[in-house]
Amino acid sequence: MKKTYTTTLLLLIFLGLFGCGGSNNYDGKTGLISSTSNQSSKDISIKNIYDNVILRDINSSYTQSLVLISSVKSLNDTQSMATLETSQKEFKKLALLYKRVESTYVAGRESDDMRDIADFYLEQFIFNSKGDTLFNDLQRIFNGTGALYKNSHKGLTALEYALFDKAINNNEMLEKMNSIRLTSALTMAKTISQNLLLVKDYYENKSTFLEDADTAISLVLNQLVDNAYKLKEKRLGDGGGFTLKYKDNPDVKRLEYYKSTNTLEAIKEILTTHKKIMDSGLSKIATLGNASSEAEAIVSTLNEAITICNSYSGSLEDGLSTSKTLELYNATAILQANYTALINGLNFEQDLLEADGD
Amino acid sequence: MEYLGTGYFLNIDNRVYWLYILSALSIALYFIYKNPQYSYALSKKIWWHKSAKNDYLYFVMISFIKLAIILPLVTYLFSAKDVSLLVSLFLQDNFGYMQKVNYSREFVVVLYTLALFVFGDFSRYILHRLLHTVPLLWRLHQVHHSAEVLNPLTFYRVHPFENILFALRYALIFGLVTGSFIYIFGASIGIVEIAGANVFVFVFGVLGANLRHSHIPLRYGKFIEKIFISPSMHQLHHSTKYTNKNYGGILAIWDYMFNSLVHAKKDEIIEFGLKNKKVHSNVFNMLIEPLRR
Ligand SMILES: [Zn+2]
Ligand SMILES: [Zn+2]
């Protein structure tokens, strides 16, 4: 009996040692830090995101800012309806391209200076009543009765006001285009362009994004989840009357680009940019980290939200109080939760068992 | 063959990783060199004792049970991943979304690793104490304490139901801590690692964690033993006399705070096993006996 026991035991141990490979299917890897075999695939994905989305978008934004400058110059020269319309069209294009830059703005997470450029000089959406103060200040400047504040002529929102006022018709607009307004518009366009150039230069020469894939992944994820939150809460919730603050009190004036009736396009641009990030590498990264279902949920919510955007017959400003807006708001709420789920999923690459006492 | 536990020796996250065994052996040899009266710790009497042989066989068996039954079961019931997501969404819903400020990643990683360690160790203390004080649980935990001699594999001499309790504890605590951190810091979290292992697991392993279940009464000195549980202190926990003391895993502060700390008296001879002299004569008995009656 004793002998059988010993033999069985030795046999089992021998078999075990003989059969064991190097891998272990429940080794306790946690965190976004992961095994080296996946590391190069992650590096490639991060590089793709950088090249195909971040760099490409800042470059097209900057290029478009130069086009805008020249169209505002023509407007200054001729003050015609045609040049006004061209300037407005080029402005809208720039605003949309800038939404792409803003959605993936990891620069602001890498460097405080870069964060300030976006927040104060390029103006990520003015969320509150600061907007009204800004427009009153600007109007005083254009009337020649106010002093030019340091920041009041810097951002996209200011330029939008200079070119569109408060969504008035273009005949009226042309009348309002006095020389102060025209030169201010040109200064604003130039300042925006200079700041975009700083961002472009940062991404091209200073960013540390490609140095460490795990840090880059965490920056991208935090940026996307924050951006999804702002999309839901500020871009849709406050305007549509879905947030606590403005419950059942929708108001188009709270929409980001109501003056240029460009808000729906801007939202679509944000959603499309998110999708590009997923397709360029984030979905791949999620698969490597055993979180492909979380990534799939994000992509399908993005598709759903884009479909809702496309179903508006006109602008969001016109269709704000339709049921579509609530649908879109709900989709972005799910999107935000899905990003949280992806962050969570990537943190638990494997099911592991820690079941021993002491 | 992983199902038979061999992977444990090659996995840096496990107590019996070969390097940790090697370092424990080195410490043991040095200890015996300094205190020759403990040379019996390496004797056949200890390592080929019936209780030790039971440990070895039990290790093979329980490894299979854990991988084939407990892991799928616990993952299905209650995974750390699910708990964590629920916690972060719950916090968002009730306290509002927190924008992901750019704290330095190093800072977050260190803080998260520390939090997992402290809450993890504390929850182990609580569960371990409950295993001793709740009669039904004590019946399960006696399997661990019926060992008459100690060796590193005694660590795994744990009834499967107790394994399930520890696994649930892990999912709960890991999930709670991770969910809270994701709520505040988003994707910036991560674990401080050495050679791919949690820094605490690694350091604890290299410093001789395996001696806790051995006959080498290594002590850290009175002061350090108020903070960390030394191998000698866990051996006291296995003694018939001090079973209800030193419940701690790595930290001794819980025992200190809740009055269950004890240090070895000089040259005190301790006897391992259960006060009621219960022994489990074979591995099947270890599985079945706690469930009888
Ligand atoms: Zn023990
Ligand atoms: Zn115990």
Q: Distance between CA atoms of B52 and B43, rounded to whole angstroms?
A: 12
- Structure token digits, residue A117: 């450029």
Nearest CA in chain A to B172: A354
- Structure token digits, residue A70: 């020249």
**CB nearest to B191's CB, from A26, A33, A351:** A33
Q: What is the pLDDT of residues A152-205, one digit of tens each?
A: 567 898 899 999 998 899 999 999 999 999 999 999 999 999 999 999 999 999
Q: Whole-number mean pLDDT of chain A?
A: 87
Estimate the crossing angle of helix A130-143 against helix A179-201, to 10 degrees.
130
Spell out which residues of chain B touch residue A348, defining contact as CB-CB under 8 Å: 79-81, 84, 178
Q: Cα distance from A5 to chain B (closest Cα, Å)?
A: 9
Spell out which residues of chain A touch residue B102, defining contact as CB-CB under 8 Å: 108-110, 115, 222
What per-residue confidence (pLDDT) applies to A37?
65
Q: Cα distance from B168 to chain A (closest Cα, Å)?
A: 8
- In sign, the C-alpha dihedral spanning A271, A275, A281, A287 is positive
- Structure token digits, residue B171: 């999912």
Closest C-alpha to A294, from A352, A207, A221, A233: A221
Q: What is the pLDDT of residues A293-327, one digit of tens each?
A: 999 999 999 999 999 999 999 999 999 999 999 99
Q: What is the pLDDT of residues B103-114, one digit of tens each?
A: 888 999 999 999
Q: Find the range with the poorest average confidence among A37-41, A125-129, B38-42, B96-100.
A: A125-129
Q: What is the pLDDT of residues A196-245, one digit of tens each?
A: 999 999 999 999 999 999 999 999 999 999 999 999 999 999 999 999 99
| CATH number of the structural domain A32-345 | 1.20.1420.20
From chain B residues 156-195, the ones with a CB under 8 A of any chain A CB are 156, 158, 162-164, 166-167, 170, 174, 178-179, 182, 186-191, 193
B92-102 mean pLDDT: 93
Q: Distance between CA atoms of B101 and B87, rounded to whole angstroms?
A: 20
**A163 and A260 in contact (C-beta within 8 Å)?**
yes
Estimate the crossing angle of helix B50-65 against helix A2-19, to 10 degrees.
40
**A274 and A342 in contact (C-beta within 8 Å)?**
no
Residue carrying structure tokens 């070119």: A163
Compute the distance from residue A8 Cα to the ligand 2 centre, in Å.
30
- Contact of B278 with chain A, judged by CB distance below 8 Å, is answered with no
- Contact of A344 with chain B, judged by CB distance below 8 Å, is answered with yes
Spell out which residues of chain B touch residue A221, defining contact as CB-CB under 8 Å: 186-187
Q: Distance between CA atoms of B67 and B78, rounded to whole angstroms?
A: 16
Q: Distance between CA atoms of A215 and B146, rounded to whole angstroms?
A: 48
H helix intervals, chain B: 18-34, 44-47, 50-65, 71-77, 80-95, 105-133, 135-145, 160-185, 199-206, 231-237, 253-257, 283-288
- Contact of B109 with chain A, judged by CB distance below 8 Å, is answered with yes
What per-residue confidence (pLDDT) applies to A135?
84
Residue A90 CB-density burial (10 A; 0-12 exposed, 13-18 middle, 19+ buried): buried
Spell out which residues of chain A touch residue B189, defining contact as CB-CB under 8 Å: 31-32, 347
Which ligand is in closest contact with the Cα of B142?
2
Q: What 3-state DSSP class applies to A123?
A: coil
- Contact of A244 with chain B, judged by CB distance below 8 Å, is answered with no
Query: Could you tell me the CA-to-CA distances from B240 to A126, B59, B142, B236, B244 in Å, in that order?
Result: 71, 23, 12, 8, 9
What per-residue confidence (pLDDT) applies to A2?
44
Q: Distance between CA atoms of B232 and B220, rounded to whole angstroms?
A: 9
Q: Could B84 and A214 be called an inter-chain contact, meaning their C-beta atoms sit closer than 8 Å?
A: no
Q: What is the pLDDT of residues B128-167, one digit of tens each?
A: 999 999 999 999 999 999 999 999 999 999 999 999 999 9
A341-355 mean pLDDT: 88
Backbone angles phi, psi at B272, to 5 degrees: -90, 150
Q: Whole-number mean pLDDT of chain B?
A: 94
Closest C-alpha to A195, from A77, A94, A92, A74: A94
Residue A132 CB-density burial (10 A; 0-12 exposed, 13-18 middle, 19+ buried): exposed
Q: Cα distance from A139 to chain B (closest Cα, Å)?
A: 33
Query: What is the domain partition of chain A in residue ranges?
Result: 32-345
What per-residue confidence (pLDDT) applies to B6?
81
Q: What is the pLDDT of residues B234-276, one digit of tens each?
A: 999 999 999 999 999 999 999 999 999 998 887 777 899 998 8
- Contact of A11 with chain B, judged by CB distance below 8 Å, is answered with no
Query: What is the domain partition of chain B in residue ranges?
Result: 2-291
Residue A161 CB-density burial (10 A; 0-12 exposed, 13-18 middle, 19+ buried): buried
Closest C-alpha to B239, from B219, B268, B266: B268
**A268 and A277 in contact (C-beta within 8 Å)?**
no
Q: Distance between CA atoms of A22 and B11, rounded to whole angstroms?
A: 9
Q: What is the pLDDT of residues A10-69, one digit of tens each?
A: 443 433 333 333 333 333 333 344 456 688 999 999 999 999 999 999 999 999 999 999
What share of chain A has pLDDT > 90, as a percent? 74
B226-260 burial, b at 16+ Cβ within 10 Å, e below that, comes to: eebbbbbbbbbbbbeebbebbbbbbbbbbbeeeeb
Residue A352 pLDDT grade (very low, low, confident, very high; cuts 50, 70, 90): confident
- Contact of B7 with chain A, judged by CB distance below 8 Å, is answered with yes
- Contact of A217 with chain B, judged by CB distance below 8 Å, is answered with yes
Q: Distance between CA atoms of A341 and A176, rounded to whole angstroms?
A: 50
